[in-house]
Structure 1
Amino acid sequence: MKLKRLLIGRPMKSHELAEEKLSKLKALAVLSSDALSSVAYGTEQILLVLVTVGAAALWYSLPISIAVLGLLTILILSYRQTIYAYPMGGGAYIVAKDNLGVPFGLVAGGSLLVDYILTVAVSSSAGTDAITSAFPSLHGHRVFISLFMIIVITLLNLRGITESASILMYPVYLFVLAVFLLIIGGAVQYMAGNIHATPPAIGTVVSGMSLFLLLKAFSSGCSALTGVEAVSNAIPNFMAPAEKNAAKTLVIMGGILGAMFIGISLLAYGFGIAPKPNETVVSQIASATFGRGIIYYFIQAVTALILFLAANTAFAAFPLLAFMLASDRFMPNMFMVRGDRLGFSNGIIVLGVLSGLLIIASKGETESLIPLYAVGVFIPFTLSQAGMMKRWIVKKPSGWIVPFLINTVGMLTTLTITLIFLITKFSQVWMIFLFLPAVIFIFKKINQHYHALADELRLDIDHEKPSKKGSVIVIPVGGITQVVRNTISYAQSLSDNIIAVYVGFDDESLHRMEKRWDEWNPGVRLIVLRSHYRSIVKPLTKFIDTVEWKTAETDHVTIMIPYFVTRHWWQNLLHNQTSLFLRAYLFAKENVKIAMVPYYLKK
């Protein structure tokens, strides 16, 4: 408990929830860290595709980056409308469910949950790439570094959203400062003629370049747009007026993201940068601009930090989305429970565990995760835009044509990109066709269970009253001890119909037990059973079945199991846990009640 308080902090009272709201400054740090951090690898993903046909093709990164910037503008305008239409949050899940139906909502919700898990995995592995670019000797410890940072960010979020936001503000804004410092410094160096690279001329015809490759490069660059939807998912976390603050935060985030992304792309082209296996594009630009000095290591440090902390966007959005799915009975109820620090702790912990397992499975390879990561977010993008289109058509509010056209362009664009991803990167994203249907199947089975449970537990208070029955108490005993005496004493306070049952392995032990019981005479009848196969559970359960069959109509059958509690946890290892095994075995019996009666040892 002391360790928990040290790591997470003191419990917070329920009324303090009103104080756990974010200002625009803090919300930008918490909810945009994923989107802003993607500039560290967005341009690089474009170059990785283009360089496969030669360095001369790298000039295509400029028109592709401009196209990505145009898509970003469309998404910002579209999600700004979503914020005002659905101020309670939920993003694509709520929009799709409300307008297109529950199945589409589950596809959007399931995709986003998968995407958030991938966000944490990609962010931590990309942050590790930044560290190993500066310190190549650490390359072999990639998985350990990524897992360590996931643990840190999980604990940080368990402390509460406001506290995590206060801590995250500094690295996020330091990263923005570092990137603009890099862009300005690089531009100055380029204009001063200090960069002697010879980038391929714009318009150069490249043999082997195809529309397929261009589309593949464009879809790869769209990975820089992941995380844009997070603000619309987490509107309830904003200070009032929540929707206005969320909309402003979204626009500010879009402006900063667009400027940084296009700046990095221009520098990468101007410096003639080509991707390297052990050094990121940002590292190469920083090295060429400032040399390997203090400023370079500052840029690499904050880049690594923001990439790690980009996972915080998922930690802010995943628990809230899981809460909404759980409220609709598509996820377990545990995701609706707030923890000591008023956050949805179960969602935070589950996200940390699943992303850690993904890091281990992928061996920390960022590149192998990014395509799946991008598909997971562009499916909800598409469904969200389609849902908003239907909303405008059905409701037809004043001036609906313009927002309808914006959402239409957004839907067609994101749908096209989704199809491009599926076609050009099928070998990397085929798992989505297995994983997403499995998630939706689980959602539906959970929902069916909750509805069936509600139907079965529903009570007609006018006609259904408790039935009055007697009580038969069966006490399994292993000897005559203080533990048994304690249990019999408690049972006698509840019923006069008590049976003690002893299971022996030979005639001698049975006779000895009967004799000692008669001498003790506790006022309770003893039944002795012979076990030919040295099993206590089977003879006992057969006897309980007999009692149950004979008394089910007139009496409740209660199995009262004596057990002792040791003073120290390690002492449990010195004793057979027969009582626990017996409880586990009897737990599935429908008409039997089980009571565990503890006796606390003092030595």
Structure 2
Amino acid sequence: MTDAQGTREPDSAGPPGPAASLPGLDEEQQRVLRRVGREWGRSSAPPEAWRRALPVDPDLGRFPLPAEVRPGRFGRLVTVSVVGPPPDTASDTAAEAGEVREGRFATGERPSGPVRRAGARTRRLLLGEALKSSAVASERMRKLVALPVLSADALSSVAYGPEAMLAVLVLAGTAGLAHALPVAGAIAFLMLAVGLSYRQTIRAYPHGGGSYIVAGANLGPSAGLIAAAGLMTDYVLTVAVSIASGVAAITSAVPSLTAATVPLGVGVIVLLLAGNLRGIRQAGALFAAPTYLFIGAVFALVVAGLVTAAGHDFEPRPTPPLPVTETAGLLLVMRAFSSGATAMTGIEAISNAVPAFKPVEWRNARTTLTWMVGLLIAMFAGIVALIQLTGVVPDARETVLSQLAHLGFGSGAMYVFVQAATAAVLLLAANTAYNDFPRVLSLLARDDYAPRVFMRLGDRLAYSNGVLLLSVAAALVFVAFDGRTGALIPLYAVGVFLAFTLSQTGMVVHWWRRRDRHWRKSMLFNAVGALLSALVFLTAGITKFTEGAWVAIVAVGVFLYVTTRIRRHYASARAALRLHAQALELPARAAAAPPPHAGPAPAPAPALGQAVAGGAVGRRAAQGGGAPGTGEDEELPAEVRNLSVVALATLDLASMRTLAYAASLQQPVLVLHISLSDHEGRRFRDYWTLWGDHLPMEVIVSPYRAVVAPLVHYLEALHHRHPELTLTVILPEIVTRRRRHQLLHSRTASRLRRSLRPLPKIVITTVPFHLP
């Protein structure tokens, strides 16, 4: 089926749902469609003639409605049978086709052969059964789950944020460390200001207010795209840095594992990939416990340290002798500030994922954000206070948090608990990026800045392709930097604070335009957040440019180049596929409908079959062709009975050319449209009626986000009911001038060939449409 290339209808309800795939036709295209329909009426046989020629009843059943589904455990899993013949033959079809569960429809292909069937069973075992699209509502998160899932990145950053700040200050020796408390205070104020700013963002954008949406809506598409570039870079680095820090916590406790840093990190990325492919709720349940354990471990460590310090009248211990390599000037302090500010990355995650909360979404999101900011400031301040009291300094062999745990608890069970909780939450903190990276990528795909494959929800209602892309990118970065946290930190602050700056600046413009109740207070909060974020961004970009920040800046530039080129291609393709009368093709006037269908053709008499060339039956047996039971025994043109099935996703120039080609063959034609919702099915029928309903058309509603698999099952059921027919499946195919652009369009024909190869008497053909 050709890609959706028409003009989209406005979406006023936030990001598109899982069933949003059919493009709208504007008034001009609808006028052209009506005009073309009139031309078809003069150039082709009347619709009644095509219907009388149809040798099948196209109504082979339907997928069950949500009210008819008997859910499995927890009301989320359902078993779905194939679309098939009426009840009297359904059992035979089921026996031949096998029981089909919901997951088949989500993956798009039916596994054939023992190896592929085993792979499908393994997939279901690891990832679970697929969920119906209506399960999105039940997959929402409550606050107690959303806090660890969406805040793990920000909360866990206290394990490396203070250490990153000290690692810069210690270069100036004791004089540099004297600035630790003022710098930490500035970072805590930044956390509070940005947190309050994002509370205003959630209130203004209750359907999800990530930097891409806010900056794009208030500052223009270019600003939104730059914000998205910063976010996407940050999400990749979030995974790499979190895992590097987690592995460092493990190697601090078990130094013998230091040589296995890279394999350990890559293995964790694989585990995160599998966990997130299982879906939102599964990931939340998996990642909640480590986050809460880490919060408890940090507060236990802080309390124990303060109790010990109280016994010494809170007298700070002296720091060990430190070599001085830099002066304690303004530049050093600004570098330390930008490094320590990495402790607040991930604050935006909640405002970007408001639709993932249970109702009332925006209120629950604001409450969760408040909890997160309060916990973040308390944990950050507690760790910095302990560092000042104990005189701990960064050590390449042991993390600062590990040193504090040793001082507070010795090497006993509590030390092991603190290190285990720290390692677990750092390794799983990357889940914040796994929640937001695919969501932002789907928004970019909706706006034609990314391949549309990233809009597709997988079996478990997660953006699976985005999850895969993030895993691959993070693994490459992790391996390239040998899993060293210190090498990754300089890359970290640039992207996220670029996004923060644009988002908060966009909110200032938003309040200035709206000027509703309390707009001055809200604008002040966002202005402060924008100013401080810009300060961190400029400081990190300038002071850490040669240390690795240039990599993040280059990544943002490459992202902008690639996304704008993708959008330019989609705009060109949409213009080429747009309905206009000068480029439309019609069937020739001589292409009348085939003769009316009068029931199945009788089988040839044995004597006649044997008389042709010495006996067709005997010759087939001798040559090994046309095995009995397969139906592939036609050898003469008169023995072949055809039915052309035209699969269409929308009505554009490629679709019109395909319809004209199918009608010109003078064979029975059945047009099939797979719709992902009843609403879209009705819209397609309306467009079809506007065109004139010249050919028989059947709409199959597939509520499981799949297109290829329902088409496969329909054709399979049609073949089982009418084995005497040769089904010719005709598809429009977009052909691009450059091979790389082909990746931006669907490859339905090749997927259909793989899926239908086990079935006899099915032919796949494509009608190419070459883009200029």
TM-score range, shorter chain: 0.7 to 0.9
1:9 aligns with 2:99: no
Change (3 A) 1:241 1:36: same
Give the one of 77, 82, 99 matched to 2:201. 82
Give the one of 447, 455, 466 matched to 2:567. 447
2:220 alignment partner in structure 1? 101
Give the one of 289, 309, 317 matched to 1:190. 309
Q: 2: CA distance between counterparts of 1:7 and 1:415?
A: 44
1:120 aligns with 2:239: yes
AA at the equivalent of 1:325: L
Give the C-alpha shift of residue 432 in structure 1.
2.8
2:373 alignment partner in structure 1? 254
* Residues 494-573 of structure 1 aligned to structure 2 (within 5 Å): none
AA at the equivalent of 2:299: F
1:238 alignment partner in structure 2? 357
After superposition, the CA RMSD in angstroms is 3.3
* Residues 300-379 of structure 1 aligned to structure 2 (within 5 Å): 300-379=419-498
1:438 aligns with 2:558: yes
1:568 alignment partner in structure 2? none
AA at the equivalent of 1:208: T
Q: Judging by fraction of residues, say which structure has more helix.
A: 1
AA at the equivalent of 1:40: A
**1:528-554 CA-partner distances (Å, limit 9, x unpaired):** xxxxxxxxxxxxxxxxxxxxxxxx9x9
2:579 alignment partner in structure 1? 459
2:500 alignment partner in structure 1? 381
1:274 aligns with 2:393: yes
Change (3 A) 1:412 1:463: closer
Give the C-alpha shift of residue 94 in structure 1.
0.5
Q: Is the 8 A contact 1:53 1:208 kept in 2?
A: yes
Q: Is the 8 A contact 2:202 2:209 kept in 1?
A: no
Q: Percent identity?
A: 41
- Secondary structure, in 3 states, of the residue corresponding to 1:10? coil
| Number of corresponding residues | 506
AA at the equivalent of 2:397: N
Give the one of 338, 342, 346 matched to 1:219. 338
Q: 2: CA distance between counterparts of 1:336 and 1:207?
A: 50
AA at the equivalent of 1:24: K
AA at the equivalent of 1:119: T
Please list every run of 5 or more consecutive structure 2 residues that lacks an aligned counterpart in the other structure.
1-119, 592-622, 643-660, 666-732, 738-748, 761-772
Change (3 A) 1:206 1:10: closer
Change (3 A) 1:434 1:57: closer
2:531 alignment partner in structure 1? 412
Name the stretch that deviates more: 45-54 or 432-441: 432-441
**TM-score, length basis structure 2:** 0.61
Give the C-alpha shift of residue 450 in structure 1.
1.7
Change (3 A) 1:90 1:396: closer
**1:462-486 CA-partner distances (Å, limit 9, x unpaired):** 994642498xxxxxxxxx8748995
Q: Is the 8 A contact 1:199 1:269 kept in 2?
A: no
Q: Could you say which structure has the greater relative contact order, defined with CA pairs below 8 angstroms and 6 or more residues apart?
A: 2
Q: Is the 8 A contact 1:29 1:165 kept in 2?
A: yes
Q: 2: CA distance between counterparts of 1:488 and 1:349?
A: 46
2:11 alignment partner in structure 1? none
Q: 2: CA distance between counterparts of 1:130 and 1:432?
A: 25
- Secondary structure, in 3 states, of the residue corresponding to 2:178? helix
Change (3 A) 1:464 1:155: same
Q: Is the 8 A contact 2:158 2:343 kept in 1?
A: yes
Give the one of 421, 425, 441 matched to 2:540. 421
1:40 alignment partner in structure 2? 159
Q: 2: CA distance between counterparts of 1:489 and 1:234?
A: 61
- Secondary structure, in 3 states, of the residue corresponding to 1:276? coil
Q: 2: CA distance between counterparts of 1:491 and 1:127?
A: 69
Q: 2: CA distance between counterparts of 1:434 and 1:213?
A: 24
**1:257-291 CA-partner distances (Å, limit 9, x unpaired):** 00000100010111000100010000000000100
Q: 2: CA distance between counterparts of 1:438 and 1:67?
A: 33
Change (3 A) 1:107 1:494: farther
**1:45-88 CA-partner distances (Å, limit 9, x unpaired):** 01100111114432321111111000001001100001111111
Please list every run of 5 or more consecutive structure 1 residues that lacks an aligned counterpart in the other structure.
471-479, 497-551, 557-585
Q: 2: CA distance between counterparts of 1:333 and 1:243?
A: 28
Q: Is the 8 A contact 1:76 1:228 kept in 2?
A: yes
Change (3 A) 1:6 1:598: closer
Change (3 A) 1:284 1:490: farther
Give the C-alpha shift of residue 114 in structure 1.
1.1
